[in-house]
Chains A and B, each alone.
Chain A
Amino acid sequence: MPPPASLSPSSTTASGLRPARRRSGLLRSQAFCGVVFIAPALIGFTFFYLLPTIRAFYIGLTNWSLLRAPKWVGFDNYVRLFNDEKFWKAIWVTFLYVLYNIPIQTVLGLLIAVLLKQLTGSVLVRSVMLTPFLISNVIAAMIWFYMFDPVLGFVNVMLKAIGLGAHPFFSDPNLALPTIAFINIWRHMGYTALLFYTGLQSIPEHLYEAARIEGSSEWRTFRSITLPLLRPVLVFVLVTSVIGSFQIFDTIAVTTQGGPGTSTRTILWYIYQEGFVSMRMGYASAMSTVLFLGLVLVTLVQMRVLRSGESDLS
């Protein structure tokens, strides 16, 4: 805790000048005002970020159904988790989902960004591409659940019309997870494209002129100028979308609820089921701690692979 503000000598301004009029020493003190300005946010931070992070780890060391007091079990939950086939299956399903989701979303985002830059910067077109992102996961999932309905869904009616026959997209164990990834790609591709588009705008035009004078092909220019200079944006997009994808929940809650079988039981859905349906808060917390550490690891690997610390403009 900071010392009492009245003892702090910092009531001079940054320029070193004393305030012209001094009414109340306390209200003039930088330290006092600083603490007052930060206090509400600090309370929020302490109760909803700092303490819960510590508590999550503690709960993971107990067995707790919320009905009785938590029972200390040490690292039992972690041992159990290590031998829990369902846990590893959920990790695998989540990993597959990320694998379907991220490359397609990123490539489509890049493609749209390049098309926008080359053909039109119109706000209308950018608005249209952003629209799915303004709609919630739940509504997006609901609309596509309807579009893919085996009998009345628009997609299946069209597939039947062109002779391909209807597919039960959400009740086929092989199709359910890719279909959920598709919904996420649909919602995020335009937003990703806008982030890349901003990155493209910041690349100096003279670099392209130089490439043109040297007779570089479009693809080569893209590989050796656009892509490297886009790396800061690429790092941001990949890191945030990978972290988000590992926590997929909403779409699954609305559509498959983990099924058919276990084909869409992702890690957060499993944690939710263990914690809030089976009331095993300790085990659920242990899994969420492992997920957290896994995400830190994945992020560090991404930063390393993408060499996020280095600049390309030299």
Chain B
Amino acid sequence: MKKSSKRIPVGQWLGYAALLILAIISIGPLWIAVKTALSGPTAWLTSAGSLVPHETTLFNFQRVLGFVDSSDPRITQTGMAKINFFRALLNSVIFTVLAVAPQIFFSATAAYAFARLKFPGRDLLFFLFIAATMIPGAVLFIPNFILIKDLGWLNTFQGMAAPYALMTPFAVFYLRQVFLATPKDVEEAARIDGASYFSIFFKMILPMHSGALATLAILVTVGTWNEFFWPFLIGREENVRVIAVAINAFRTQQQAGSPDWTGLMACTVLGMIPMIALLVFFGRKVVESFQFSGGK
């Protein structure tokens, strides 16, 4: 669309209004979750349509994190179950770190080999890696589940992280593009000076591409933190289950008709805080990472 000098102000105002409405639709529901989580567990029932918390309290956060004794009258009165969401948050951190950190490192070494080193079978192998991006998770989950089960890794962090830890086709492909796009004269000069490929990789490639590595880390971390299906198959026990699996479990435990909404909303708010914090602290970097995740 052109930037017209004779743009009608009415159209412009309509545009701003549309953008404002879409922005409210995007984040309004999140506020409703926050205000519910901040409301008193029973006082809230009479103010479901309110836009602000009713009898503001951190009680719901405290109880889902396990900081309130289960004999506390406020819990026994309302008959609400004790939830250990603190454990789920910790599990999510462990799962995400185990799946993301080695994935980025080993995808970087592979991408460097694909971009810069000649070895037998390289091009065929790269073709296979690319083809793997087309295989839907729906095909892989049954054989991968059986493999993890046969290894005895059900309900372990290594079982949950294993398929992500050594590579993902996306990470390899993304970093190979980045490495190919930089001129290789500096590396060649270093080679002539006698530097090994290992020292070139660690002392030149990794520092030189820290921006692209950060972008990839953001994309992969958000994806892993939000992952549900695979952790749901592998890690359902309380000592390993991540927030998405825990929230799903709490929700299905509720009696029909009277869900513990304030507790559930406290969990959802706690679960989204890390990603929102990422956006608040690294706004531009996060936005641009996602903006260019389409390949350009």
Contact assessment for A112 and B22 in the assembled complex, using a CB-CB cutoff below 8 Å: yes
State whether the Cβ of B233 lies closer than 8 Å to any Cβ in chain A.
Answer: yes
Q: Is the CB of B248 within 8 A of A138?
A: yes
CA distance A127 to B286 in the complex (A): 8
Interface SS of chain A: helix
> How many Å from the CB of A96 to the closest CB on chain B?
18
B177 within 8 Å of A (CB atoms):
no
Q: Which residues of B contact A (CB under 8 A)?
A: 1-4, 12, 15-16, 18-19, 22-23, 25-27, 29-30, 32-33, 36, 45, 48-49, 102, 106-107, 109-110, 112-114, 117-122, 125, 128-129, 132, 134-144, 146-147, 149, 162-163, 165-167, 169, 172, 184, 188, 191-194, 196-198, 201, 222, 225-229, 232-233, 243-244, 247-248, 251-252, 259, 261, 264-265, 267-268, 271-272, 275-276, 278-279, 283-284, 286-287, 290-296
Q: Which of A129, A133, A247 contacts B137 (CB 8 A)?
A: A247
- CB distance B169 to A49 under 8 Å? yes
Q: Which B residues are in CB contact (< 8 Å) with A53?
A: 135, 139-140, 143
- Is A44 touching B36 in the complex (CB atoms < 8 A)? no
Measured CB to CB, the closest approach of chain A to B164, in angstroms, equals 8
- Please tell me which one of the listed residues A3, A123, A125, A147 contacts residue B32 in the complex, with CB atoms under 8 A apart: A147
The answer to whether the Cβ of A285 comes within 8 Å of any Cβ in the partner chain is: yes
Q: Which 9 A-B pairs have the closest CB atoms?
A: A44-B166, A34-B119, A136-B226, A41-B110, A52-B143, A34-B117, A41-B167, A157-B49, A2-B120
B291 / chain A contacts, CB cutoff of 8 Å: 126, 194-195, 197-198
* CB pair A27 B196 closer than 8 Å: yes
Q: How far is the CA of A56 from the CA of B136 in the complex (A)?
A: 12
CA distance A136 to B121 in the complex (A): 39
Q: Are A143 and B19 in contact (CB under 8 A)?
A: no
Bound state CA distance, A208 and B1, in angstroms? 7
Distance of A212 Cα from B286 Cα, bound (Å): 35
Per-position 1/0 for A41-79, Cβ under 8 A of B: 111110111111101100100000010000000000000
Task: Across the interface, name the chain A residue whose C-beta is closest to B257.
Answer: A151
- Tell me the nearest residue of chain A to B261, going by C-beta: A146
CA distance A19 to B29 in the complex (A): 62
A247 touches B138 (CB 8 A): yes
Total A residues in contact with B, Cβ cutoff 8 Å: 124
Q: A53-B140, A134-B286 are in contact. List 7 more A-B contacts (CB 8 A).
A: A8-B119, A45-B167, A131-B276, A151-B48, A195-B294, A199-B296, A226-B1
Q: What CA separation (Å) do A82 and B259 show in the bound complex? A: 40
Is A88 interfacial (CB 8 A cutoff)?
A: no
Contacts of B295 in A (CB 8 A): 236
- Min distance, Cβ B262 to any Cβ of chain A, angstroms: 10
**CB-defined interface of A94-128 with B at 8 Å, one 1/0 digit per residue?**
00000000000000100110111111100111111
Q: Which of B26, B36, B229 contacts A249 (CB 8 A)?
A: B229
Q: Which residues of B contact A281 (CB under 8 A)?
A: 142, 146
Give CA–CA (A107, B212) in the complex, Å: 30
20 CB-based A-B contacts, threshold 8 Å: A2-B120, A10-B118, A42-B125, A47-B147, A48-B163, A49-B135, A49-B140, A133-B290, A134-B222, A135-B275, A136-B228, A136-B244, A152-B48, A152-B261, A199-B294, A208-B3, A247-B138, A253-B248, A254-B247, A281-B142
A40 to B23: give the CA distance in the assembly, Å: 43
Q: How far is the CA of A276 from the CA of B268 in the complex (A)?
A: 27
Complex contact A291–B138 (CB within 8 A): yes
Q: A13-B188, A131-B279, A136-B244 are in contact. Are A45 and B132 (CB under 8 A)?
A: yes
**Alpha-carbon distance between A294 and B97 when the two chains are bound, in angstroms:** 35
**A161 located at the interface, meaning its Cβ lies under 8 Å from any Cβ of chain B in the complex:** yes
